[in-house]
Amino acid sequence: MKILHTADIHLGAKNIKLSQDKQTQLREEQNRLISSLFEDAYQKDYDVVLICGDLFHSKNVPARILANFYKAVEHFSRPVIYIKGNHDEKFDLTSIPKNFVILDDNKQSFEYNNTVFWGEISAQELANNIDKTKSNILMLHGDIKNKNDRDFVDLQQYLSLPLNYVALGHIHSNEIFKINNIDIAYSGSLFSNGFDETGRKGYIEVLLDENGTYEHFVEFCSYSYMIVTCDITGKSSYKDILSLAKEQLKSCKPKDLVRLILTGYYSEDCEKYLSMLESDLSNYFYFEIIDKSKLMIDFDKIKSEELSFKAEFLLLVENGEDDEDVKNKICQIGIEALRGDDLSL
């Protein structure tokens, strides 16, 4: 059996940092990706698609997005098996396609091609009903590591059962591992919706046969949120900073949403020209610069100045009782304030 495992699609999610026009473009791209996902699944002859929760972002999903999703599911024609996630709790699923299978308290399992898919079921119930002569796949949505998460799932209670694969949702990063000889995986989110979800996104392909279970991550999404850090220490001109930034941004694609963070120290005679830098680098779907770089201050030179308020300030701080790290921070911020620069707080 060939399975496509995905989760955390969050249909209808918005990024308020983007302009209305950009939000519309991104929503259209996500619609295209949903259609493409099920078209690819059909063309590549997947037997089933698993959606492990958080299909929707809230109960208010635009009708056009929902209609596009249902149309894509119908086109696939084979079973699309779904469990609810924490974001789906208030969403009312009505008029669903015939091949859209919901596993919940009312329907705890679904069998297809000698493989049983299990959803909302306790470990004890599963132990009482599982058939060892068939392949068994458990679908869960929650955090299996953090007990403080209100959506914590105690996976340990299921690990003594004859399961072939545990398909997980809720954590938005991809992870594949094995416990007690059971293959387990978070597919990660199908596509990102913010800078808290950086990197490439996709789904997991799972192959079940008589020799075992095999899975691998398939990159799918056409865009990513990317955070790139650029240390400008030692760069003496705008040209140098621009050249370094371009080098650091090489892994970013034109469709990506990119945040460039400037760090390090710059000299007094180095002009960063942030507006120009943003203009020269803005060949991405979205681009922003966050400047965390600090002015490199020559404290010894300031101390040697005569009749200098800055020199008096530094001497006053040095004679204080704070530790050296605190003194250095006070000196840095104080001189920046006296110069009229942005404070590195």
- Contact predicate 240/246, CB 8 Å: no
Cα 5 from Cα 284, distance rounded (Å): 30
DSSP state of 106: S
The residue assigned the tokens 């830098």 is 277
In CATH, the number for domain 2-219 is 3.60.21.10
- % residues pLDDT > 70 (the chain): 96
Cα 23 from Cα 37, distance rounded (Å): 21
Q: Residue 333: what pLDDT?
A: 80
The predicted-structure confidence for 314-333, as pLDDT tens digits, reads as follows 788 777 878 877 877 787 78
For the entire predicted model, the pTM comes to 0.83
Q: Residue 345: what pLDDT?
A: 60
The predicted-structure confidence for 286-322, as pLDDT tens digits, reads as follows 999 999 888 777 667 777 777 778 788 878 877 787 8
Cα 276 from Cα 282, distance rounded (Å): 10
All CATH 3.60.21.10 domain ranges of the chain, comma separated, are 2-219
